Amino acid sequence: MLPAAKLSKEQLKDKLDVLQCHFTWMLGVESCSPQHLLQKLDVEIKHTPHQNQLALLGLQAYLHQLNKQSKEALQSLRAAEEHKEKEQLASTAGSLIIYGNYAWIHYLQGSYQEAETCLERVQQLCPTPWDVRLIPHIQAQKGWSLLAIRARNGERARECFNVALMLEPQNRSFRTGLAMAFYSSWNSSWQPDLEREVRIQLEIIVDEQPNNYRAKIYLARLLEQVDREKSIGLAEECAEKSSDPEVLKLSALFWMPQSTERAFEIIQRALQQDPGYHLLYQALAKCYKQQWVKAKEEDKEKIRCKAIKDLQKIVKTHPDLDLTLAKLQLAEFIGAKNSAQEKEIYMELQGKINTLSLRCRQALCLSWGKYFLYREKSPEKAKAKFMECYNIAVQTDHRRDCGRRLVKMAHIYQSKGDTNAANAIHRFLQEADQHCPKNLLHSV
């Protein structure tokens, strides 16, 4: 029988709040679907070669706990315990984070004595309030965790890896993390002044780590407009040699504008290796859309029917996957001939709106808006949906698209002499932008 807890629940919570672990890092998962993040993270844990396994397993435990899956959360932490870091300081920092996560999970389960026991283990590992030698390794784990959530965390991840490198400037893992963080910053904001620095950082990593295919496919994308030949060579190498479905997905997206046939081939190979990776189906849907748009008029119907058949089968076969964006593409294909059925799909997704990530909510609003504009010929309903999308303060292609559409609507109102309606749209856009992080804003 366990002894009685020494601390009150409030005292225990105060001590937990100052721990360094995934539960205190404010990783910004609120706008994402836990299902999406866990599926994405599973791929990353299996395939990334960086020294970030402890961070990713701890993040997996955190996400499982958020998803009310305590058993799976504890399993992830046990897997993290089995992962041995070669360097002593990295190992100690990893253990601190693992036991901090254990303490939080036991606390959230109401097992306060177990939480206290984990706290005591943390204090044994680091008896002083803060051991400066552990800071770089803790910051690196935080950086890797931020990157695994989403590209918009790139700026915060850069800060983490910069701190780590100030204290250990020769650490290769930290330099790899900084390069990946630079890429994420550029990928989420498209700031031109970042591009050269990102390219330099990634080229160093690619030279040092020839099997780091994530770095190679990122570099291929950066070099598209600068060194086309090298860019194609890197993308081709990634498609041929990598088994990472995320790398293969990005390789397919790289080839998609030039050759949908090549993109299809890469996606199908990736799906054979990992049929549970939901983002591959999203890429497949995009590929069908690209093929449909580019096809000759006499071929369009054949492509549309094949896309509908395949996407319907995917949705039916994988009810456990987050396939929102693939479903929206399916709805568009169906709507070309059956607008009522297209609307049914939107209504079904609308009924699950609270379970969707902010990005998927934006995508749904955009699709609804286009439906009202082109199918029902109702500009006012369309405007309301475009505004709903734009009001979600996460900068994405969906938000930018809605912004452009709203500006176009304002011009139409202006040309018809309805200055009030035009001005109302411009005011709305300005007010909505005030709530979106400044570094993510671009002209619409």
Closest CA to 214 of 48, 85, 376, 350: 48
Query: Is pLDDT of 195 > 90?
Result: no
Please give the pLDDT value at position 441. Answer: 44
Confidence of residue 439 (pLDDT cuts 50, 70, 90): very low
Taking the CA atoms of 92, 93, 98 and 100 in sequence, report the sign of the dihedral they define. positive
CATH number of 9-172: 1.25.40.10
CA-to-CA dists, residue 302 to 38, 284, 307, 339, 427, angstroms: 36, 16, 9, 19, 45
Lowest mean pLDDT among 46-60, 117-131, 169-183: 117-131
What is the helix (H) or strand (E) element at residue 90, kind and residue range? helix 88-108
Average pLDDT, stretch 194-217? 93
What average pLDDT does the structure give for the chain? 91
Asked whether the beta carbons of 439 and 191 are under 8 A apart, the reply is yes
Q: How far is CA 368 from CA 39, 64, 209, 355, 381, in A?
A: 27, 32, 45, 18, 9
Across the range 195-206, mean pLDDT stands at 92
Q: How distant, in Å, are the alpha carbons of 177, 184, 316, 318 from that of 287?
A: 31, 24, 20, 19
Share of the chain above pLDDT 90, in %: 77
Q: pLDDT (tens digit, 9 = 90+) per residue, 66-112?
A: 999 999 999 999 999 988 777 788 889 999 999 999 999 999 999 99
Q: Give mean pLDDT, residues 206-225.
A: 94
Would you state the pLDDT for residue 2?
47
Distance CA 342, CA 351 (A): 15
| pLDDT tens for each residue of 336-350 | 999 999 999 999 999
User: How confident is residue 437, by pLDDT bands cut at 50, 70 and 90?
Assistant: low
**What does the pLDDT read at residue 202?**
95
Token readout for 111 is: 């097992």
Does the pLDDT of residue 265 top 70, yes or no?
A: yes
Question: In sequence order, which residues have a C-beta less than 8 Å from that of residue 49 and are 6 or more positions away?
Answer: 209, 211, 212
Report H helices in 242-337.
Answer: 245-255, 260-273, 278-294, 297-317, 324-335
Quote the CA–CA distance of 225 and 221 in Å, as a whole number: 9
- Residue 132: the pLDDT is 83
- State residue 442's pLDDT score: 39
Region 109-117: mean pLDDT is 94
Which of 91-95, 133-137, 245-249: highest mean pLDDT?
245-249
Kindly tell me if the per-residue pLDDT of 215 is higher than 80: yes
CA 18, CA 138: separation in Å to the nearest integer? 14
pTM of the model: 0.89
Per-residue pLDDT at 190 exceeds 70: no
Domain-wise residue ranges, the chain: 9-172
For residue 8, the model assigns a pLDDT of: 84
How far does Cα 64 stand from its chain's mean position? 17
Percentage of residues of the chain with pLDDT beyond 70: 94
Residue 290 burial (CB count, 10 A):
17
193 pLDDT more than 90: no
